[in-house]
Structure 1
C-alpha cells in the first residue's frame, strides 16, 4: 500500500531535491493519517498560517528580542505540513482539482513569501532592508520559471537542482537559529542565500530557454512533416 501511495503522490511532479526520498515516504505516511474533515483547502490554510507565523516571529524579534526568531521553526514546520499535503491529500482521496489547486497553491505561496520578505525588512536595519526585497523578487523569479517550465515542458518541477522548498525552509530556519544566538549573522547569511537564488535563477532560466528552443524546433519539424505528408496525399 505504501508503494501505491508513493506512486500516486509522485506521478505529477519531478523531484530532484536532496531529501526527496525521505520526504515522499513521510508524505505517503501522513496522507493516510489526515482526518477526513480536513480537506486540501484546509491544509493550504494551515500552510499559509505557517508562513504568517514565520513572518510574525521576525517582527516579534525586531521589537521584543531576537529569541522570538526561534518561533519561526514552528512556522516552517507548519508550512511544510500544509504545503506538502494539500495537493497530495486530494489525489490520495481521488478527488483532485488539478488547476484549481495549482492556482491556489501558487497564489498562497507567493503571498506568504511577500510576508516573510516584509518581516525581514522590519527586522534588519539600513541598506540591508533591500535584501528582503531582493529575496522576494528572486524567489518570485524561481516561481515564474517553474510555471513556464511546466507550460513549455509539460512537467512541473519545484526544485532547483538538489534544492527544493523543503531545503530552503531548513536553510532559512538555520539562519533564524543562528541569528537568535549570534546577533547580526543574519545579514551575511541572508546575503549568501540571496546570491545563491540569483545564481540559481540564472541557471534555471538558461535551462528553460534551451527547453523552449528545443520545443520550437520540434514543433517546426512536425509542421514540415505535416506539410510534406499533405503534399504527398495531393500528388
Structure 2
C-alpha cells in the first residue's frame, strides 16, 4: 500500500497541480488531504474544486473552519484579527454556498489500517484541536503527549505548521507534511508525504516539488487579494507572514 498525504494547499492551485502531477509519477494507491484547502491563496475556488475532484478522504483544518465561521478573538494575535477576517471575507466571496457546506461537514481526523501490521492516525494540528501549534523541536515527551495519543497506532501524520519533518519516538514514527501552497521553511517548493507500507515494514518520505512561484505571487495582485504584497512575499520567501 502506497499513500500520498497532502495538506495546507491554501488556495494555491498552481502548486497543487504540480503536486498532483508529481504524485501521479509515484503510482500511489490513494491520496488523502489533511486540511487547509482555500484560505490565504489567490485561487481558492479552483484549489477546492481540484481537491473535491479527487474524491478522496479530506479532513478539516483550522483555515477551513475560519472560512466557514470567521476568525475569532484568541485564535490569532489581536493585531491581526481584522486583517485575517478581511482575507477570509475575500475567500468566501470566491466560493459558492455548497463549497462552504462541504468545508463545514469535513471530519477532523482519520484512522487507517494500511495493512495488518500498520495503523495510522491522521489529523490537522492535534487530535484535540485544529489550532494548537506543535513544532518539530519539541521534546519527545511533549510530542507523545500532544500528538501520539492513540496507543495502537504505529504512525502519526499531521499538518498545520508548514514545516515538514520525520521523527522516530518510542519505536513509532511521527511526521509533518509541510505545506503544498505556503511552505514556511525557506524552500519555495511544495511539500507532501508518501507512506509506502509492505507487511511489517514502512517508509515515510517527504517530497518537495517546484512550482511557478512568480506566477502565484502575481496572481495575488491580479486577482485583487487583500494584502497582496504581504502574501507575495510569503510565497517568494517561503516564510510566515510577519
TM-score, with length taken from structure 1:
0.26
User: Which protein is bigger by CA-based radius of gyration?
Assistant: 1
Higher helix share: 1
Whose strand fraction is larger, Structure 1's or Structure 2's? 2
TM-score (norm 2): 0.26
